[in-house]
Amino acid sequence: MAYRVCVLRAPGTNCDAETAWCLQKTGLEAEVVHVNRFIDGRADFMGYDGLVIPGGFSFGDHVRAGALLGKMLKERFYEPLSRFSEEGRPILGICNGFQILVECGLLPGGGMSAALTTNLSSRFEARWVKLRVERENLFTRGMAGSVSLPVAHGEGRFLMREEEIKALEKRGQVVFRYAFDDGRPAGGAYPANPNGSLHDIAGISNEAGTVLGLMPHPERAFHRLTHPTWTRERMEEGDAFGEGYMIFRNMADYIRKR
């Protein structure tokens, strides 16, 4: 049986092909679908077993990062997408996809109580970072401890009222934090925390753990040879996958077992 995952794209999306490739390597059938196909009725979200919103700059990040596509999904497709997640079908948002999931309300902050805004450095940050895995859900199964993934964004600073962040933490919805190499939370220190996110938050989920948004790019760490230290590490046979691979493999395993 073929399990289908939609990789949603819009003008300005630029990580759709490699994200689809990663999904295909886990045995899923990945289809890159332009948002216009949903708008004009040629595609239906409920026809897919999973959804990934990849990185890039949807609609040029006009207004703010992810705002236009996020509001489009909220106004036109909030009901089917809510039903999609309530049925346990997984949704993954990477970088711009994370911003979009917050904007459209599928992740906390859709009522403008949260924002992913301009990095404190006022620069586009493209670097490898260490992430502390705070919560196991369908995407992070077997990823205890810390992982290394690359970031590439100009607006990745997660902001939210303190009381709401504490509620997220209490409900186990903070999934990733920026960390030092030894796994300790970065404590806001740059460049371990590349953007100034409050509480070092790099990724959050819905309460059920079926919707995940994260700023780093797991598709760019699918193989170990993309990591800058790979030439200094001994690779055993069958040990070619990077730490981003686990997120896609876990998503695929979950879809097949549903």
219 catalytic, yes or no?
Answer: yes
For residue 132, the surrounding DSSP H or E stretch is strand 125-133
Rounded CA separation 192/217 (Å)? 16
Angle at 197 between CA 195 and CA 202, to 5 degrees: 95
Residue of 153, 199, 217, 227 marked active site: 217
Please check whether residue 50 is in contact with residue 90, taking contact to mean a CB–CB distance below 8 angstroms.
yes
Q: What are phi and psi of 81, to 5 degrees?
A: -70, -35
217 catalytic, yes or no?
Answer: yes
Residue of 95, 125, 153, 243 marked active site: 95
15 catalytic, yes or no?
Answer: no
Please check whether residue 213 is in contact with residue 164, taking contact to mean a CB–CB distance below 8 angstroms.
no
| Cα distances (Å, whole numbers) of residue 157 to 75, 126, 215 | 25, 14, 9
Q: Which residue has the tokens 């890039």?
A: 56
Residue of 103, 125, 155, 219 marked active site: 219
Residues forming the active site: 95, 217, 219
